Structure 1
């Protein structure tokens, strides 16, 4: 089984010399055997073909996912658990560790082994899948680890754009023309945009982590419902305000928010291994109050989201493979124009208590790569607690400013929730 990488996957893959890795860490209370972990990982590979795949280039240097008959197991790296924050150090290590994608799967497993408590990490190349896919195979892994004979099904993998875009759209003469024209215009524009000769020096990468307890998390969700805005919108406005307060004139007043393509393309199932995403950008108005900004931003988000078209977007991108080099160069060498990428995975629907162990927490995934500004905040909610991973690089956002932004986010959230706690 094999398929060509799509445009977005090729962009994330790069030339193989720079990692673009994501990590999803979690904490288990219980005792485990390596052979049981390896078995659970092998069951994941049995279900998902692309977890068995390597990447090979053809004679035209086009990369392909290729599933070999005698596939290689997902590698396990075991380190002794010394403290509560070991998972952060191992996350940073995994960001920097290249995937030898022609020789090993695009997924690794790290076991920070303790006597009663273990932290575990899935590390994967971002061209393999997104955070939604990672949560899906995390759920399957835990299911098998607890109950080895459990049935998790078999994925019917996406083999190309034809498995996502309906045939009527994909073969439509007008839609094909539209995609080609937009693709050519975009490719020409990208070629004409001036970029620097050197990419920004990233310097040291860092991870800042925090949680809201169950009480604050519950109040935050209740507040958003009372204001008729989403948690995503609320946190975006909080983040924009924090960047403005800390960075002043250096803030861009722009936060990029990924939108799950599964909302618009039902062909892509929750458990599909897939990396393609959609994006909107949100901004706030300094002249408005916090509440007015919430409502204005919510309207803007709904308007922009309603205009998203995953099918034509994919068709445009697939028509522009020859512009990949220029597009990548623009992302790497162009000036940053947004403050941060903010991704909210929402409530993670994975059980907390299992027969053989307890899933104490899931830490929000982190991701970092070479395509421009690395500043990213990811949040998720598990077992009633909202968790935050804030990733960045000194060359884009100094660590001291990132800490100040974190403090502003926490303070602003608590200030907005205070009237509820008083009542």
Structure 2
């Protein structure tokens, strides 16, 4: 159901953009060959969407020679050109019935170029996208590199152990919970008027290497993760800037691979596990960070990915209602915050250098678009803040960033 929800009706874009900058000469033929090799490894990169008689979307592979990842080339204007092209790519719908759910934009300059790898979110998550980026860079540098071959995930039977999946107790319990959730989605009244999003925008910034190092050391000394510190900073910044408009809630995506070893980093996969965090008003910043860490640890220890996946499967009849709930329901959180952590991709290759990897951006049609994504590459934390003026005005976003940097 997660993939179907992200795909929606196929008429609205829900795109992830992975930008990176390369210094050095890249040949167009080498890029196209690298993309060809990546498609050979990952069958779902050769897949289009087909709708069955029950109006459910399915991945269907297309192995014809002309079913290639498209490359759009533009002449580089300046250092900010990649951000403009990213926003353009948010709005560009994938022709999912006739083309792959992945495309490439090459912002070509004389000495440096930026590249955007764009995916429909129903295809993969950030972890898979970065894994594919790793393979792309390897192949650009050495076209004969063996990147292996993915055995694709075809259904729940491939990611849930047979013993768990066939357990009568598990099937009954999770099926019942799924049906209750389905019923709730049917009876919850929802207004059919979405919030006017107005202009979508993006702000990207980096922290220096010394500051990044200090943050990591501070977190280790206080026994909480960088992710927890940043979460506390984001919540505090929203509260100080938006005041009574703040919800004191952020959603943290949790990589299901951390709980399900069957799903590998290079598996093309997307499944939404979320933890919601809030500050405790009676505690100061440092105490809140420690309290959030305890909450995350407790919550994570109780997460059961197999049950969640089985419940989602049982909710298929309520897909349309769930999508409407997300799209038209009243917003109840400040933003989604995702920290991809350290990106383990080399800087120096034989034929080029990867100057930077920007944190991804994502924009979709389902409700509040406000998202902050962090990552660390070459010992520098990088942040991308994405929102729509109808949810968070641009001037408030800038103030939130200033406040957040003060706490991080």
TM-score, length-scaled by structure 2: 0.99
1:230 corresponds to: 225
Superposed displacement of residue 360, structure 1: 0.4
Q: 1:60-209 counterparts in 2 under 5 A?
A: 60-71=54-65, 72-209=67-204
- How many angstroms apart in 2 are the aligned matches of 1:196 and 1:248? 26
Out of 360, 378, 386, the position equivalent to 1:383 is 378
| 2:28 paired residue among 34, 37, 40 | 34
| Number of corresponding residues | 407
Map 1:9-48 → 2, pairs under 5 A: 9-48=3-42
| Distance apart, 1:322 and its partner CA | 0.4
Q: Indicate which of 298, 306, 311 corresponds to 2:301.
A: 306
- For 1:240 and 1:64, the matched residues in 2 are separated by 38
Deviates more, 1:62-71 or 1:252-261: 62-71
Root-mean-square deviation over aligned CA pairs: 0.8
Report the CA distance between 1:59 and its aligned residue.
2.2
The 5 A counterparts of 1:329-344 are 329-344=324-339
In structure 1, C-alpha distance between the alignment counterparts of 2:369 and 2:302, rounded to whole Å = 27
Q: For 2:169 and 2:91, how far apart are their aligned partners in 1?
A: 44
Per the normalisation by structure 1, the TM-score is: 0.95
Higher mean displacement: 343-352 or 179-188: 179-188
Summarize deviations over 1:213-242 as a string: whole Å, max 9, x none: 110001000000011001111000000000
Secondary structure of 1:22 counterpart: strand
Tell me, yes or no, if structure 1 residue 373 matches structure 2 residue 371.
no
**Distance of 1:58 and 1:331 partners within structure 2:** 24
2:264 pairs with 251, 262, 269, which one? Answer: 269
How many angstroms apart in 1 are the aligned matches of 2:187 and 2:232?
A: 33
Comparing 398-407 with 68-77, greater Cα deviation is found at 68-77
Query: 1 CA distance for matches of 2:271 and 2:5?
Result: 11
Runs of at least 4 residues off by over 6 Å: none
Partner of 2:247: 252
- Does structure 1 conserve the Cα–Cα contact (< 8 Å) formed by 2:46 and 2:63? no
- CA apart distance, 1:61: 1.8
Cα displacement (A) at 1:355? 0.1
Q: What are the ranges of 5 or more consecutive residues in structure 1 without an aligned counterpart? A: 1-6, 414-423
CA shift, 1:374, in A, is 0.4
